[in-house]
Amino acid sequence: MAYAYLFKYIIIGDTGVGKSCLLLQFTDKRFQPVHDLTIGVEFGARMITIDGKQIKLQIWDTAGQESFRSITRSYYRGAAGALLVYDITRRDTFNHLTTWLEDARQHSNSNMVIMLIGNKSDLESRREVKKEEGEAFAREHGLIFMETSAKTASNVEEAFINTAKEIYEKIQEGVFDINNEANGIKIGPQHAASNATLTGNQGGQQAGGGCC
C-alpha cells in the first residue's frame, strides 16, 4: 500500500515488561498471554494516518536480556522513534530506565523521539510504580509518557500514534533530515507522487509489505 512516510521504531526495555505484547496489540489488535520470548530482534508493521497522510510504521521489537544488547544496539541507529517500556508492577524495570536511556541516547541519532511507557496498567492491585513517578522521570529526561495495557489495549494505539505525531511535527519543523535514511524516516511513493520535488528516493521499493 502506498504511504507518504515510513517511520522506523524500536521497542526497548527489560525482559518481560510486555514489549512484544504491545507490538502484537498494535499490529494485530489482540493480546496473546502465551507467546514465545523474543530472541534477538523481531519485526512488525502497520499503517496509520496523521494529518490526512498515510504513514507506515516499521517496528523493531528487541529482546530485553543483557546478552542481546550488542545486537539490539545496532538497531538504534536508523530509528526515528523509540518506545522505552517498563512494567508498573516491577520496580526494578523502572529503576533500569536510566541505563536504557543512556544506551539509547548514545547509540541513536539525537533527534530520535522517545516515548516512555509504563505497561500493565490493568494490574492496578499489583502496582509498584506510581504514575506520577513515570511522569516525573519523563519530564526530567524530555520524554513523552503514557501508561498502557497491552492486555486491554488501553492507550496502545495512542502510544504508537502520539510518537508518530511528534516525529511528524519534527519533520514539519525541519528538524529531521528526511533525505537521510539513517534518521529512520523514508519518503514513500504516495508522497513522492504528490510532490515532484521529493522524488528520487527509494520509498517505492517497499513493494507489498502486506502488513496491514
Exactly one of 40, 130, 136, 195 binds another protein (CB under 8 A); that residue is 40
Residues pairing with 9 in the sheet: 59, 81
Exactly one of 50, 65, 165, 201 binds another protein (CB under 8 A); that residue is 65
Farthest-apart Cα atoms in the chain, separation: 55
Q: Is residue 204 a contact point for another protein (CB under 8 A)?
A: no
Q: Is residue 37 a contact point for another protein (CB under 8 A)?
A: yes
Query: Quick one: which of 190, 187, 168 has its CA closest to 178?
Result: 187
Dihedral angle at the C-alpha atoms of 125, 147, 91, 44, nearest 10 degrees? 120
Q: Are 59 and 45 in contact (CB under 8 A)?
A: yes
Q: Is residue 209 a contact point for another protein (CB under 8 A)?
A: yes
Query: Which of these ranges, 99-107, 139-147, 150-158, 203-211, lies near another protein under the rule CB under 8 A?
Result: 203-211
Which CB atom, from 87 or from 143, has the smaller least distance to another protein? 87
Query: Which of these ranges, 64-72, 98-106, 107-115, 188-196, lies near another protein under the rule CB under 8 A?
Result: 64-72
Packed helices 69-76 and 97-107: angle between N→C axes, nearest 10 degrees: 50
3-state SS of the chain: helix, strand, coil percent to 5? 40, 25, 40
Which CB atom, from 87 or from 147, has the smaller least distance to another protein? 87
Q: Is residue 45 a contact point for another protein (CB under 8 A)?
A: yes
**Closest separation between CB of residue 206 and another protein, Å?**
7
Q: Which residues lie closer than 8 Å to 147 by C-beta, 6 or more apart?
A: 88, 117, 118, 119, 121, 131, 134, 154, 155
Query: Which of these ranges, 36-44, 121-129, 147-155, 189-197, lies near another protein under the rule CB under 8 A?
Result: 36-44
Residues that bind another protein (CB under 8 A): 15-16, 34-37, 39-45, 58, 60, 63, 65, 67-68, 70-71, 74-75, 78, 206, 209, 211
